[in-house]
A and B are shown apart, each in its own frame.
Chain A
Amino acid sequence: MRVFSIGLVISGIHLSMPLLFAAYGGLVSERSGVINIALEGMMLFGAFLGVAVTFWTGSPWLGLAAGVGLGILLGALHGLLSITVRADQIVSATAINLLALGVTAALIPTIWGQPGVSPTVARIPPVVLPGLSDLPLVGEIFAELSILDYVGFLMVPVAFYVLYRTPLGLRLRACGEVPEAAASTGVDVIRTRYLAVLTSGALAALGGVYLSLVQVGLFQRGMTQGRGFIALAAMIFGKWRPLPILAASLLLGFADAFQFRAQAVGLPLPHDLLLALPYLVALVALATFIGRATAPGAIGKPYVKD
């Protein structure tokens, strides 16, 4: 196995995709003015229920649906606490993260009778597109992509179009910048923010389902390992804009893939330090030539209807 090969591209895509889904979840929520640090918990819950339902029914598609459904419910909870109750959005999200970590870990032995990890379940298979996978060189990549990978790449132009080219996107962004102004033109700020947070939950959970049902086909205690926070970092690194977020997710995902492969090949590198490298690079880039990242104007502030 060489470090630089088609395999690197494949595993780079596989490691970027959960970040991309969750980061877009963060994007939708934060553009509407609601901070979502609960991405981590939503991913974890999504990953868990995806595997559990697949285990019970044998169908990873039902697992996918259940995981995303749970994500929407968690989005509703985050919305209830941070929009309706007007609680601190970071506290509300922290509560969800705690719930996710605790409930999923506690249910592993209850469901599967062993602590820490579930048995392997059916994975979401790669889609075989006749023709594409027979292409020289890139065919190998297409042969490994599942429907979720295509959904992920398709999500980028869709999100761009909805955010910048539709009335809904304009309303969403207005709610995140100056909700009072949005409200004065007749936009229902509360409803728009709810819609955004529900979508956010669905996307974050989809990222989790990708981790558990596309990458490995099992659930492990705390298996997101902070990826929700990395996705948040990718979102801010991408300055709350769809295309730069794609670039940031790919950068972090490929850096991860490179590290894994370097370790597997046995390159004499300090792997722990190598793991830290992409984050240092991102920080330096942000501090020097990328410039200021500006958060949406009304982010984190509960909206009070007059």
Chain B
Amino acid sequence: MDRRWRNAAGRIVASSLAPLIAVVGALLVGAVLLLAFGADPVEGYRALFVSAFGSEQALASTAIKAVPLVLVGVGITIAFRANVINIGGEGQLVAGGLLATVMALALPDLPAPVLLPLVLLAGAVGGAIWGGIPGALKAYLGVNEILSTIMLNIVAVQVMNFLLRGPLLDTSQISGLSRVPQTERLSPNADLPILIEGTRLHAGIIVALLAAVVVWVLLWRTTAGFRLRAVGLSPDAAAYAGMPVKRTVMLALALAGALAGLGGAVLVFGSVSHRMVTDGTTTGFTGAAGFNGIVAALFGGLHPLWTVLSSFVFGGLLVGGIAVQRVVQVPSSLIVALNGLVVVFVVSSELLRRRMRARALVPALRDPRPPRAPPAGGGRRPGTDRGSG
């Protein structure tokens, strides 16, 4: 067999096998965890997969959980590609949800074909503002965006708690004993339509998939996307080439915010109760989607389309976790731990991949003729490894 062919084959096997081994490894450790909690791992995993992917209902629940992850994740993809570390998904979800809710409360009588796009737009605008602020602070005043986005997460949650306990509180709740921080049932004209009768699957999934495709086109088929990536790779080189670096940094965070804000609107208008509701904790409204979306995006190699896939995997784990709890009587938070394990193992598989590739390249190194491409065995850095285009 030709050497080059063998190298290519080795590379492909190495790059597809390593993540697979990683997932299997994570599931094995997870099985040990389940055993430690006195549960049958086979039964537990069966419950997980059946409830997450095993039926139309299951797939619908998984998709619903995946929607905010996709929206936050593709936004994170834009930001991280521009080398802007956006930890503000939580706050941007909240800001989007709030502005969309206010819009629905202000104009409840508009017909659905007008009101629904309007509330989604309001969500995107709210998120864009909440992302644009740290973007502008970073671009023009040099404020570290990790810091500002974390702080704005806290501010957003507190503003939400204030509004949902005060000005936006459901008036019928005031006489009742339980003062859940929530709005009244919002205008039905803003409900996201159900796509499949008998399931909860709503049109949010279409919004999310469209967003992923649009982001892919933006990043790899437009000048603006080229600028975003160029600024991310080297701001100095981009500035030298005449690109507006500051504006691009701000745009990256505002776009990431807009997508997360859209996710916030979808969370409100795709919810079962059709209200904006929280429980007073920091992740009460978002279900931590602002953080999980980061994981989904990084897991998806900062590529919008792979991010969709990884969001479905994580969404499935979230849904399946509840079933595992019910069927084998373990705490559902064990699944959060399993999420962490999967990330640990997939991250570690990078090392495995490097080793396997190095081995595949050994014959090429022995070859007296110089290889065409420099052997990429040891020196590949994860930073340059994210997705292709």
Contact = CB atoms under 8 A, between A and B. Distances in A.
Interface of A: 37, 77, 81, 84-88, 90-92, 94-103, 105-106, 108-110, 115, 221-222, 225-226, 229-230, 232-233, 236-237, 270, 272-273, 275-276, 279-280, 282-283, 286-288, 291-293, 295, 301-302, 304
Interface in B138-184: 141-144, 146-148, 150-155, 158-159, 161-162, 165-166
Contacts of B333: 101-103, 105-106, 221
Given A86-B350, A272-B159, A279-B154, A287 B137 contact: yes
Given A272-B162, A279-B154, A293-B143, A85 B347 contact: yes
A98 B337 contact: yes
B366 interface: no
A285 B136 CA distance: 15
Contacts of B299: 91
Interface string B278-307: 000110000000010011001100000000
B347 A81 contact: yes
Contacts, number: 161
A109 B37 CA distance: 10
B345 to A, nearest CB: 9
Given A94-B291, A270-B166, A302-B383, A85 B144 contact: no
B331 A233 contact: no
A282 to B, nearest CB: 6
A226 B141 CA distance: 26
Contacts of A275: 154, 158
Interface of B: 37, 85, 87, 137, 141-144, 146-148, 150-155, 158-159, 161-162, 165-166, 281-282, 291, 294-295, 298-299, 330-331, 333-341, 343-344, 347-348, 350-351, 378-379, 381-383
B39 to A, nearest CB: 11
Contacts of A84: 351
Given A94-B291, A272-B162, A88 B143 contact: no
Contacts of B294: 90, 94
A270 B165 CA distance: 10
Contacts of A102: 333-340
Contacts of A106: 37, 330-331, 333-334, 337
Contacts of B85: 90
B347 A88 contact: yes
A221 B378 CA distance: 42
A272 B141 contact: no
Contacts of A94: 291, 294-295, 298, 343
A95 B344 contact: yes
B151 A272 contact: no
B337 A88 contact: no
B348 A85 contact: yes
A273 B158 contact: yes
A232 B153 CA distance: 13
Nearest to B295: A94
A106 B321 CA distance: 12
A219 B298 CA distance: 31
B340 A96 contact: yes
A91 B351 contact: no
Given A85-B347, A91-B343, A304-B379, A109 B147 contact: no
A110 B331 contact: yes
Given A91-B298, A283-B148, A99 B331 contact: no
Nearest to A89: B382
Given A110-B37, A276-B154, A237 B298 contact: no
Contacts of B141: 286-288, 292
A305 to B, nearest CB: 9
Nearest to A305: B378
Q: Which of B85, B298, B333, B341 has the most CB of A within 10 A?
A: B333
A94 B314 CA distance: 14
B34 to A, nearest CB: 10
A85 B336 contact: no
B159 A273 contact: yes
Nearest to B148: A283
Nearest to A85: B351
B144 A295 contact: yes
A229 B379 contact: no
A276 B347 contact: no
A233 B154 CA distance: 11
B147 A293 contact: yes
Contacts of A279: 151-152, 154-155
Q: Which of A106, A276, A292 has the most CB of B within 10 A?
A: A106
